[in-house]
Amino acid sequence: MSRHVQNTDPSVLERRLRPIYDWLDSGNNKKALQECEKVLKKTPNLHCAKALKALTLHRMGREQETNVILDNLASEVPTEEATLQAMALCYREMQQVEKISKLYETAVKLNPTNEELHTHLFMTYVRIGNFKAQQQSAMALYKQKPKNPYYCWIVMSIILQARRGEGANDEKKRKVLLNLAERMMEKLVNDNKMEAEQEVQLYIMVLEMQLEYEKILDLVDGPLGEKLQCSDLSILKLLYLKKLQRWQQVNSLCKIILSDNFDKWNVWKTYIASVFDLYETGVNGNGPSDVENDVDSFDNTPEKCHEFICGIIEDGAENSFLLRAPYLARFELCSKLQEKNIKTEDILGDKIELFIEYFRKFGHKSCCVFDLKIYLKVLDAEQKSELATKLIKEVGIGSTSVPQSADQMQSHIGALQLARLSGGHRNLSTEHLRALVTALTLHYQHGYQSYGKDLPSTDLGPSDNYAIMAAHILFDLSKKEDGSDSLISALALLESFLTNSPSNFHAKLLALKYYHILGAVMEANSLYYLLDIKHLQLDSLGYVHCGRLATTGLYSLCAIHFDTTLKFFSSNYKDSTDHLTFSYKFGSFMKLDEFMDFREKLNNSLHYTTTVVDRIVLSLVDCSTLDGIYNVDISFKENKIEWDKLRDNRDLSVYVNWEPEFAENVLEESDEIKTLFAQDLNFLKLRTHILWSLSAGLEVLRSVDGTRQQNIASMRQILKDWEDLENNVKKCDLTPISEDSVSYPLPSRLHAFLDTPFRPIVTLFLSFFEFLTLDNSDEIEKASKATQEELSRLTETLEKKLNTKSSDFREKRKGVERIVNTVEALCIACVMCLMCNELVKPPPQGKKAKKKNPIESKLKCHLDLIINEIKTQINKTSGLVNGLCGETDNRDLVTILDSLNLNTDCATIRKNILLSYRKTRNEIQDVLKSKLKCLDSL
């Protein structure tokens, strides 16, 4: 009968089912379920309606019912497309992707000629990355329908086996597989069947892996090359000529390309590199060459190279073009000459003059500084400072004059930026730097009044960069005697300029950073929202805000930002296999490797894993019942995190800087940042062990006598691992990264973490817990004492490290981070109290057992002693919080500040910072209070 139902007119079924899909799409699961029931009443055996009901129930969180329906459906072996798709979607959302393959495998067996089912089966293997199964199913598909795309799917599946499957660690296997792939593509060519551009691309890809560059060049020149519609053939050829190190041909081809289009910067770089290769190998055109005749077609000396560049510049001048590439090519030549220890002056003349000439031509464009900064390396320190002086002179703006045009202003800004990049601000006195800030601020205001007022609000202001630089110099000053005052001045400047240039994201990023340094997290949060950071930026820019929040004690903000971030990651991980299937569908095979790498990069983001852990810890902080703890998914990835794979996905370059150290080097690759990543990673490893230990403890608690011993052993093992890890970490470089440069993020959370005795507390407490389960009363008493002692040192340690007297907000922020760690330790102690309490509380035996068991009450009394110690520590911490963040409440504070009549911008900033600290204090106090309450209930 059921077969019969499935065979009802599809359009009728479609009409009946439509509303279910619509409700599901709009997220109204309740209505969707009602609709399902309605349809199932009419046609109780309609597979698709059942599948949709399962999906709906799953989305409503009714897992058990979902599973029953799915299992029943699967046993009926559905083959109808819509049903399979609904079931597949459901399995995918339940993260049981293997079942989807099974589903389609069975369906294909029943309908071996159905192309669509075969395709779906292939795609299910793509989603789980089973390359071998992919190959087999593509072959079965090709046998049914011999179409080129399916043939390419086979080849691609073989390539993936070679590169990411069994061939990845087995050179022999790899070779065999790639040979097979190459032969298969050759067959397609020989049979004259190659048609689409994608097929040719796949062939090139295989040849490239086989290092058959020669063949690729022949292919590009041959009839197959004509199929490469969307590629620039000469650039493609250049790529493989380079790999073959045929420098003469590279050189000639570059010249041809450049004569035609001289703004292609990469070709310029290749051209100049080839000149030096020819020069060094002594190819002079007379000896044996790989290019027939035409000695002039390639340049093999720096002189000829320079001649060629000058020729192009002259051509350009005649045509009144002003393109930067040939001018910049001279710098590339210069830096290459210098690399080879060849005197540059003979060919290029005075180096400083070279810069000045470029600056004269392009100085009024903001890109000029970006162009030149990578070549400042050709100058020594003295020349750099000479250049800086000359440039300022060139612009013609002295200490008493202002720019007369927007272009002159941009040149002035450029000259100042290059001066800073040359290290010109490094040795200035505090007074000098302050004077510079004043001058820049005035220039900013003048520039805004003269050239910035009538621009649309979406534009960056033309004089904004004066203010950004002033804010950078104020940061430098904060490292000297000016302290946090100069950061407050910087914030006042940035805030006021943001009212003029509401879309200047540089200012927002900078202010966000300064607020974090000062611990004014509420203010930072407002700026963060102005940046409208979303999607992938939650990963690349997560460090600017979200990554700091766990140190701030603003638990309400933590929850919001952690959840947004985690939602992004988990939903994208689910979706990310879609792109892989698209790649096959559209034949963009060259993107597949990239997509897979990207998927891994995203999923192995250090920021992601850190946020997961932060979120769990936050839940524990909020937690005050044992049930609550069970509800937190604490057993995060169970020891299975692949630490080595975790990646630093931060985009640090989003912060513009003119620090000499990063003129040509990428910040992300600096030693400082590598150290920071290593420290962050260690921090995460250690912190994760808190969770794993607690999780192991919960397992012990949950287990009955039979398995308890085993669970105790694994709990001990985790604690041991933690200890080993901590010892190893302490052997690494534990110096916090420098805070001297505005470009660096704040130092790692590792340092304050290591100052808090998380491990001793958890270890001792869990051993007390362990003895409770074993009823070993001597050991219980000892362990209780040890735990109390360790806890009693908690605030002592904190107090010593805390500088409550300092009025420097930067110190305050560090203090808050320490307090937050202590609060976390206390909350974790409370969690362990709840666990222990479960062991000592009298079993619920009804009215019969009213009398207290004396042994149990004895045990309880050891726990009570610990609880009392925690309470003492909570109260002390509470006092320290007030000491650090101030005791007065918000209204008083505002009144006090207002009564002082501080109507300056700085006073407003200061007031907001204090208000933010007040919020911090309140949130921490609330947590502490709730912990006291929780302990009282035990």
Partner 1 sequence: MTTLRPFTCDDMYKFNNVNLDPLTETYGLSFYMQYLAHWPEYFQVAESPSGEIMGYIMGKAEGVGENWHGHVTALTVSPDYRRLGLAATLMNFLEEVSEKKRAYFVDLFVRVSNNVAIKMYTNLGYIVYRTILEYYSGDPDEDAYDMRKALSRDVNQKSVIPLAHPVRIEEVD
Q: Using CB under 8 A as the criterion, which residues of the chain lie in contact with partner 1 when the complex forms? A: 229-231, 263-267, 323-325, 328, 365-367, 370-371, 373-374, 456, 458-460, 503, 505, 509, 531-532, 534-537, 539-541, 572, 575-576, 578-579, 582-583, 585-586, 588, 590-591, 594-595, 597-598, 601, 649, 651, 653-654, 664, 666
Q: How far is the CB of 601 from partner 1 (least distance, A)?
A: 8
Nearer to partner 1, 347 or 654 (CB): 654
Nearer to partner 1, 509 or 549 (CB): 509
Are the C-beta atoms of 806 and 883 separated by less than 8 Å? no
Closest CA to 818 of 759, 762, 758, 742: 758
Nearer to partner 1, 532 or 642 (CB): 532
Q: How far is the CB of 330 from partner 1 (least distance, A)?
A: 13
Q: In a 10 Å sphere around its CB, with 0-12 CB exposed, 13-18 middle and 19+ buried, how is residue 625 labelled?
A: exposed
Q: How far is the CB of 417 from partner 1 (least distance, A)?
A: 11
Are the C-beta atoms of 819 and 787 separated by less than 8 Å? no
Contacts of residues 587-591 at CB distance under 8 Å and 24 or more positions apart, as own/partner, are: 587/149, 587/152, 587/196, 587/198, 587/199, 587/201, 587/202, 588/198, 589/152, 589/156, 589/198, 589/201, 589/202, 589/205, 590/201, 590/202, 590/205
End-to-end CA distance of the chain, in Å? 61
Q: How far is the CB of 350 from partner 1 (least distance, A)?
A: 22
Nearer to partner 1, 43 or 465 (CB): 465
Q: How far is the CB of 374 from partner 1 (least distance, A)?
A: 5
Burial 637-674 (b: 16+ CB within 10 A, else e): eeeebeeeebbbbbbbeebbbbbbebbeeebeebebbe
Q: How far is the CB of 586 from partner 1 (least distance, A)?
A: 5
Closest CA to 134 of 164, 114, 176: 164
Closest CA to 722 of 749, 693, 695, 764: 693
Nearer to partner 1, 642 or 669 (CB): 669
Q: How far is the CB of 356 from partner 1 (least distance, A)?
A: 19
Largest CA distance in the chain: 110
Nearer to partner 1, 179 or 588 (CB): 588
Q: How far is the CB of 603 from partner 1 (least distance, A)?
A: 12
Tokens linked to 610: 């850190």
Three-class SS string for 445-467? Answer: HHHHHHHHCCCCCCCCCCCHHHH
Q: How far is the CB of 335 from partner 1 (least distance, A)?
A: 11
Residue that has been written with the tokens 């042994």 in this structure: 855
C-alpha to C-alpha distance for 63 and 174, rounded to whole angstroms: 43
Q: How far is the CB of 528 from partner 1 (least distance, A)?
A: 12
For residue 287, give every residue at least 6 positions away whose Cβ sits within 8 Å of its Cβ, in sequence order, or none. Answer: none
Closest CA to 617 of 362, 311, 824: 824
Q: How far is the CB of 103 from partner 1 (least distance, A)?
A: 24
Nearer to partner 1, 350 or 594 (CB): 594
Task: Point out which residues pair with 432 in neighbouring strands.
Answer: none
Nearer to partner 1, 47 or 373 (CB): 373
Tokens linked to 647: 């990646």
Nearer to partner 1, 535 or 851 (CB): 535
Pinpoint the alpha helices (H) of 396-456.
406-421, 430-447
Nearer to partner 1, 367 or 900 (CB): 367
Nearer to partner 1, 21 or 655 (CB): 655
Q: How far is the CB of 920 from partner 1 (least distance, A)?
A: 28
Are the C-beta atoms of 16 and 50 separated by less than 8 Å? no
Q: How far is the CB of 654 from partner 1 (least distance, A)?
A: 4
For residue 426, give every residue at least 6 positions away whose Cβ sits within 8 Å of its Cβ, in sequence order, or none. Answer: 660
Q: How far is the CB of 938 from partner 1 (least distance, A)?
A: 47
Are the C-beta atoms of 183 and 191 separated by less than 8 Å? no
Residue that has been written with the tokens 């051509």 in this structure: 315
Task: Point out which residues pair with 647 in neighbouring strands.
Answer: 605
Closest CA to 469 of 443, 503, 448: 443
The DSSP secondary structure of 215-283, one letter per residue, reads: HHHHHHHSGGGGG-TTS-HHHHHHHHHHHTT-HHHHHHHHHHHHHH-TT-HHHHHHHHHHHHHHHHHT-
Specify the amino acid at residue 686: L
Nearer to partner 1, 368 or 829 (CB): 368
Q: How far is the CB of 228 from partner 1 (least distance, A)?
A: 10
Residues in the chain, overall count: 938
Are the C-beta atoms of 602 and 579 separated by less than 8 Å? no
C-alpha to C-alpha distance for 644 and 681, rounded to whole angstroms: 9
Q: How far is the CB of 593 from partner 1 (least distance, A)?
A: 10
Nearer to partner 1, 266 or 895 (CB): 266
Nearer to partner 1, 5 or 224 (CB): 224
Q: How far is the CB of 568 from partner 1 (least distance, A)?
A: 9
Nearer to partner 1, 34 or 335 (CB): 335
Nearer to partner 1, 575 or 898 (CB): 575
Nearer to partner 1, 142 or 568 (CB): 568
